[in-house]
């Protein structure tokens, strides 16, 4: 059994308009329970994810790409820690996308993302992603509009190719309120053990909040597809954020109807119930 969430309410339907101001980042009404109930549901989903990840790895047929985007302090790191805390690290990998290196700048903007996509049997989590090229580069005018506007179609074509090659793609926009972001920044300043998380660069980006909101709205509208849907996840409450993400991942893996591969006894000269054949 799942958490009872109706995941469709979080999905951006292809071709639909997105107004983030109409989505309450503190909403938890999709779940019939409180935080304690939510944490129990997350624990149950984590227990389901462990064998599903093992099965994905063993079957060696499908691939899962999880994309996490959101304003600074929206909880990308926290989501990764909580949702994937029980899986075998052998088949799971996190790719971080910060400021591009010179080598990455010398290639097309999708090059660094393509290098990190999952192999067969693997789960890869993008902490930020190729979408930075229609967000940061747009907001800070690092490339002209004539360049970033073309990228929506390029990105959807890229994701279509990955999907046709066996990659399941789930994209989550972690939606927080500007006041909640300020509170989280202050928490990092107040707690000496969290000072390392605080960045003045991130804090200064708050002045571009409206610009980023506009950029996100258009990116969500133009790149949510049947093969790579966007989920807008209310994320002011970390437990609800983690619940939605874990539910979507578990459901997607269950829908694959995976099977453990059968042992091929002919390859090693195997004799059932006896010693290996000479």
Tell me: the pLDDT tens digits for 235-271? 999 999 999 999 999 999 999 999 999 987 776 565 5
Question: Residue 2: its pLDDT value, please?
Answer: 59
Longest dimension (CA), the chain: 74
Question: Residue 268: its pLDDT value, please?
Answer: 58
Please compute the mean of the pLDDT values over residues 217-226 and round it to a whole number. 98
Mean pLDDT, all residues of the chain = 93
Question: Residue 276: its pLDDT value, please?
Answer: 60
Is 203:73 a contact under the CB 8 Å cutoff? Answer: no
Higher pLDDT, 89 or 48: 48
Tell me: the pLDDT tens digits for 116-136? 999 999 999 999 999 999 999
Alpha helical stretches, state H, 166-237: 178-190, 200-204, 209-223
d(CA 270, CA 209): 64
Please compute the mean of the pLDDT values over residues 151-180 and round it to a whole number. 98
Question: Residue 205: its pLDDT value, please?
Answer: 86
Question: Residue 94: its pLDDT value, please?
Answer: 97
Domains of the chain: 7-254 (3.40.50.300)
Q: Which residues pair with 11 in a beta bridge?
A: 231
- 198 pLDDT higher than 80: no
d(CA 144, CA 38): 44
d(CA 146, CA 165): 30
Question: Residue 196: its pLDDT value, please?
Answer: 76
Please compute the mean of the pLDDT values over residues 66-84 and round it to a whole number. 97
Tell how many helices (H) and how many strands (E) occur in the chain: 11, 5
């Amino acid at each position: 059994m799942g958490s009872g969430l109706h995941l469709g309410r979080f999905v951006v339907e292809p071709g639909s308009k997105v107004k983030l101001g109409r989505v309450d980042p503190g909403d938890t009404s999709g779940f019939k329970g409180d935080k304690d109930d939510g944490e129990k549901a997350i624990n149950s989903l984590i227990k389901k994810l462990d064998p599903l990840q093992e099965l994905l790895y063993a079957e060696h047929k499908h691939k899962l790409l999880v994309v996490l985007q959101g304003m600074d302090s929206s909880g990308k790191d926290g989501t990764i820690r909580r949702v994937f805390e029980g899986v075998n690290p052998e088949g799971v990998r996190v790719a971080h996308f910060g400021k591009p290196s010179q080598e990455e700048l010398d290639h097309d903007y999708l090059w660094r993302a393509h290098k990190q996509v999952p192999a067969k049997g693997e789960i890869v989590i993008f902490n930020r992603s190729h979408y930075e090229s229609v967000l940061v580069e747009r907001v800070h005018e690092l490339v002209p509009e004539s360049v970033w506007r073309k990228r929506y179609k390029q990105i959807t074509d890229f994701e279509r190719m990955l999907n046709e090659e066996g990659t399941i793609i789930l994209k989550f926009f972690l939606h927080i309120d500007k006041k909640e972001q300020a509170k989280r920044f202050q928490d990092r300043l107040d707690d000496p053990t969290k000072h390392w998380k605080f960045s003045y660069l991130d804090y200064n980006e708050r002045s571009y909040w409206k610009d980023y909101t506009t950029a996100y709205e258009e990116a969500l509208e133009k790149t949510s597809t049947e093969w790579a849907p966007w989920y807008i996840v209310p994320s002011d409450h970390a437990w609800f954020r983690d619940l939605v993400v874990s539910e979507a991942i578990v459901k997607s893996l269950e829908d694959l109807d995976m099977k453990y591969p059968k042992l091929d006894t002919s390859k090693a000269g195997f004799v059932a119930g006896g010693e290996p054949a000479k």
